[in-house]
Amino acid sequence: MHILVIDDDDRLRQLLKDFLKKNNFKVSVSPNAIKAFKLLNEFIFDLIVLDVMMPEKTGIELISELGSEFKTPILLLTALDQIDDKIKGLKSGADDYLTKPFDPEELLLRINNILKRTNIPKIKAHKLISFGSYQWDNVLKKLNKDNIFIHTTSFENNLLTALSENLGKYLNRNDLSTQLQINSNSRNIDVGITRLRKKIEENPRKPQFIVNARGKGWLLRGHPVTSR
């Protein structure tokens, strides 16, 4: 399990890193939200421990910018007098909060409880689709290349889901429109396919993975991965 700790307090950040490592977690750290964004674009994390009060950009602002499509669970660290921030954080999408100062054992307990709740799909059956050096996670809706996260929009996620659930089968515009619940005359499908190809194809003009045939539609070339 890979945890990202975001806190501007150097001492606390190091203490959390050491404590979590002793409890068999892989840990990355960031002193602020801006540097955290870079890490989130490079790695896939299982959980984020996030301080609310930070300079430049607060933890609440970071959650808001990540958006509703961001599914990685978040544990907020708040001060005793930050009641409003607790409420704002939970409303924004945080999964739990812990008030400073706290006992490290309570932090560990809360982390394990969150992971038990949020990682059930991982244990049961991840539907992973592999194409080239890329993997698409049909459960978490995440695309990565060599374990490095690649950002995709909500619409791109829906496109990949539709194509990956029909491996080896062409889906025409009507098929995709029905699955995506959009107007069949919309150009969104063409735009989405073009943007996806730019992200996963070595040469988007000569695609190897998302291919199309006149009169048939689009097809994703890949294969399911039975285990990690």
CATH number of the structural domain spanning residue 165? 1.10.10.10
Residue 71 and residue 175 in one domain: no
pLDDT for 122 equals: 39
The residue range of the domain holding 210 is 128-225
Amino acid at 58: T
pLDDT for 160 equals: 93
Residue 125 clears pLDDT 60, i.e. is over it: no
Distance of CA 129 to the CA centre of its chain: 16
Asked if 23 and 17 count as a contact pair (C-beta separation under 8 A), the reply is no
Q: Which two tokens stand for residue 7?
A: 């806190």
CATH number at residue 79: 3.40.50.2300
d(CA 44, CA 96): 20
Residue predicted with more confidence, 197 or 167:
197
Residue 142 and residue 92 in one domain: no
pLDDT bin (cut points 50, 70, 90) of residue 85 is low
pLDDT for 83 equals: 66
Residue 105 and residue 148 in one domain: no
pLDDT for 16 equals: 95
Residue 32 and residue 88 in one domain: yes
Residue 26 and residue 109 in one domain: yes
Stretch 96-100: mean pLDDT: 87
Q: What is the pLDDT of residues 46-66, one digit of tens each?
A: 899 999 888 888 888 888 888
Phi then psi for 179, rounded to 5 degrees?
-70, -35
Q: Which two tokens stand for residue 62?
A: 């970071």
Residue 44 and residue 81 in one domain: yes
Residue 163 and residue 77 in one domain: no
pLDDT for 81 equals: 62
**For a pLDDT cut of 90, what percent of the chain falls above it?**
46
Write down which residue in 123, 154, 172 finishes a domain: 123
pLDDT for 5 equals: 96
